[in-house]
Homo-oligomer: A and B are copies of this chain.
Amino acid sequence: MKKRPTIEMVAQQAGVSRQTVSNAANAPHRLRPETLRKVLGTIDELGYRPSHAARSLRTRATQVIGCRLLPGNYGGTGGVLDRLLHALCDAAWAKGYGVLTFSAANDDEEIAVFDDLLRRNAVDGLVLTHTHHGDVRPAWLMDQSAHFVAFGRPWGVERPAHSWVDVDGSAGTAEAVRHLAELGHTRIGFLGLPEGNGVGDDRYQGWQRAVDALALPSKGLIARAEDGVMSGKALAEQLITSPAPPTALVCVIDAMAVGAVRAIEEHAMESGRDLAVIGFDDSPVASLLRPGLSSVRQPIEDVAHKLIEVLLAEIAGTQRRPSRALLAPWVVVRESSGLPRARELRRSSPHGGAADSTLPDLNRKEQGK
């Protein structure tokens, strides 16, 4: 019986690589015309049928969802997207799906990866993260009829034609303002990102609206810079040393809040006692700092479940129109915005046994473990 021609046989006879044969069938534009002609000629000659395997693959669900892995902001206090990946992985796995992660330096590279994954039928659908103004990825994906859902609103797009899930950042900063106002603060500042960043503008607007609604001042209480601990420190320093300093700061992101806390400490003050600070994202460092950093927490597990629910509906074809979901965050209150801390412990003498008797119950329990 004659052996069924394989891609290797075509490659060998045409004197090209396996990949070139594959490209001739799936991405002919990648080949030079004479190479394409030669490979197609050999394919005809041997009777190789690349389309069959490709077609059967195309109709076969991979049970895999693709998602770009963005660099962790470990120098700062990021980690929201890492938290998302864990949650996404759990939510996907509960439905029998794995999550294929990949690296890409920018949107163009990400699109090249999408192209490759879709051509290879390596994924059933995609989760887009880090949406931003002028984002070219959604249009490309829609053009390919790819199944996808975005974590993040399509900033600047009036009637987005695709599904997305996001967290209501402005609701978060507004809640932070109301929480501080309830504690008696009347001069509540905002450390933000430069204008033009979708997420940053959204969080800023929540602060502005809440401050206006409470008839509190905002003039001279806004400072903006790129994200980072050092820039947060510089901005806080700027507001602290201004003629009419704030008594509380809402920060667009935890890294800025960490910087603000450092500026406060350098003025021999303490966050929470002398100046309240609230961050955003409730990154791991927020609970580990002393005083603990209050922070707006995103419901990442709910986001992940919603992303998977919407994406699987897209894949199944039961999603008739684009789905939009805006989930509410909440303020995790710690010492930096007024939660009392056991300050008397600091006054106990070194090596003395006295500290034990003033330890809170939680600590005592842990100690007895």
Contacts and interface: CB of A to CB of B under 8 A. Distances in A.
A236 to B, nearest CB: 11
Contacts of A104: 93
Contacts of A352: 267
A348 B288 contact: no
Interface stretch (A23-31, A72-80, A147-155, A173-181): A72-80
Given A74-B83, A288-B77, A268 B366 contact: no
Contacts of A326: none
A313 interface: no
Contact of A350 (B89, B267, B288, B290): B267
A266 B346 CA distance: 5
A268 B348 CA distance: 6
Interface size class, chain A? 35 or more
Contact of A85 (B90, B101, B274, B290): B101
Contact of A101 (B101, B262, B289, B347): B101
A303 to B, nearest CB: 16
B290 A262 contact: yes
5 contacts: A63-B120, A64-B100, A74-B284, A230-B363, A266-B355
Given A93-B104, A233-B366, 15 more contacts: A53-B53, A53-B56, A53-B60, A57-B57, A62-B122, A64-B64, A72-B83, A74-B83, A100-B100, A229-B288, A230-B366, A241-B351, A266-B355, A269-B350, A285-B288
